[in-house]
């Protein structure tokens, strides 16, 4: 049983909109194997994924298959929009060296510690 391209586009539209409403997509038949080549884009980010036909069959009626498809699409969107942050330096910062070293200078006076 083959899945129609228009039915697949409307199904993918509803699933993608539940993940992120700003993601644009283009679904085309994949030439190499039976399935859909899906190009996702959001602002400057872009990703392409091939979804096999057997994974698309029965998605309308089976909630487990729909959840697997949604997980696949969400993972692709997350990888597409991921930006690596700079790692904090692990270099130890030292205090400035003053007269008497790093420790507090001995104070003299009423509360100096000696009695």
Partner residues linked to 45 by β-bridges: 42
| pLDDT > 70 fraction of the chain, expressed in percent and rounded | 77
Say what the pLDDT of residue 101 is.
Answer: 58
Say what the pLDDT of residue 76 is.
Answer: 95
Residue 110 confidence class, pLDDT cut points 50, 70, 90:
low
Q: Contact at 8 Å (CB) between 26 and 38? A: yes
Q: Contact at 8 Å (CB) between 49 and 35? A: no
| Domains contained in the chain, number | 1
Is residue 113 in a domain? no
Is residue 98 in a domain? no
Is residue 106 in a domain? no
Of these ranges, 82-86, 101-105, 107-111, the one predicted with the greatest mean pLDDT is 82-86
Among left, alpha and beta (phi > 0; psi -120 to 50; other), residue 95 is beta
Is residue 10 in a domain? yes
Write out pLDDT tens, residues 37-58. Answer: 999 999 999 999 999 988 888 8
Q: Is 49 helix (H, G, I), strand (E, B) or coil?
A: strand
User: How buried is residue 51: exposed, middle or buried, by Cβ count under 10 Å (0-12/13-18/19+)?
Assistant: buried
């Amino acid at each position: 049983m083959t899945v129609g391209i228009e039915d697949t586009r409307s199904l993918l539209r509803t699933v993608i909109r539940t993940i992120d409403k700003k993601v644009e997509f283009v679904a085309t038949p994949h030439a190499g194997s039976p399935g859909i080549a899906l190009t996702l884009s959001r602002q400057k980010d872009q990703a392409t994924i091939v979804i096999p036909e057997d994974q698309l069959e029965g998605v309308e009626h089976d909630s487990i298959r729909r959840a697997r498809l949604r997980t696949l699409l969400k993972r692709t969107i997350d990888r597409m929009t991921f930006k690596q942050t700079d790692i904090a330096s692990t270099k130890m910062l030292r205090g400035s060296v003053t007269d008497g070293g790093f420790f507090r200078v001995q104070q003299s006076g009423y509360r100096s510690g000696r009695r």
